[in-house]
A and B are shown apart, each in its own frame.
Chain A
Amino acid sequence: DAGVIQSPRHEVTEMGQEVTLRCKPISGHNSLFWYRQTMMRGLELLIYFNNNVPIDDSGMPEDRFSAKMPNASFSTLKIQPSEPRDSAVYFCASSLPPSGVVFFGPGTRLTVL
């Protein structure tokens, strides 16, 4: 298995631009998570999907952030418009409950200038 796949690995954009991060979870996993990691705040859960349905989006910072999971093999996290404070590493992760094992992708390093 290829593991969780994220693209792009690095993204540099200017303030105000739209950013779309992509994720392909491990085949067969029905839970998907988006996390954001910064030095100041550590690893924060943004949103959690189960069977393609958003279950908990309380971690999404504001309306500029949106996430979708149109099918079991693909998810996107969109930021529009982006701001410098959105600069962070964004991780997608997937799991198959109740195993309790969460597999992380390699992350997307986002820099907003």
Chain B
Amino acid sequence: TQLLEQSPQFLSIQEGENLTVYCNSSSVFSSLQWYRQEPGEGPVLLVTVVTGGEVKKLKRLTFQFGDARKDSSLHITAAQPGDTGLYLCAGDSTGGSYIPTFGRGTSLIVHP
């Protein structure tokens, strides 16, 4: 079983601050995904990264996949209260069927 460790587990910041959350593993993944989950809802996919070193941007969110495809980071610039939620990373090593294995997530609260 591939284990994905996410850090920090909890993060409470003020609106306008920047933050980075991390997703690390000792295993190599064929792809890695980031999801955001809001209270009372299921996770929603934000991005998929597949190439080592890949960087993707989604408005104020920047996602990076490590060169060795074992880790990833999510950086949020000028956080807003709407960014509040649980951020989950998920990796797949099956290389085809895509069965995501999730980390435990980083719970982010952005205060106005």
Q: Which residues of A contact B (CB under 8 A)?
A: 4, 31, 33, 35, 41-45, 48, 50, 55-56, 91, 93, 95, 97-107
Contacts and interface: CB of A to CB of B under 8 A. Distances in A.
B99 A33 contact: yes
A104 B101 contact: no
Interface of A, secondary structure class, is strand
B31 interface: yes
Interface residues of B, number: 22
Interface string B51-63: 0000000000000
Interface of B, secondary structure class, is loop
B84 to A, nearest CB: 17
Interface of B: 31, 33, 40-45, 48, 88, 90, 92, 96-105
A102 B44 CA distance: 8
Contacts of B31: 100
B98 A106 contact: no
A15 B99 CA distance: 32
A55 B89 CA distance: 23
Contact of B43 (A48, A55, A104): A104
* 7 closest residue pairs by CB, A with B: A104-B42, A42-B104, A43-B102, A100-B98, A104-B43, A91-B42, A97-B98
Nearest to A41: B104
A93 B98 contact: no
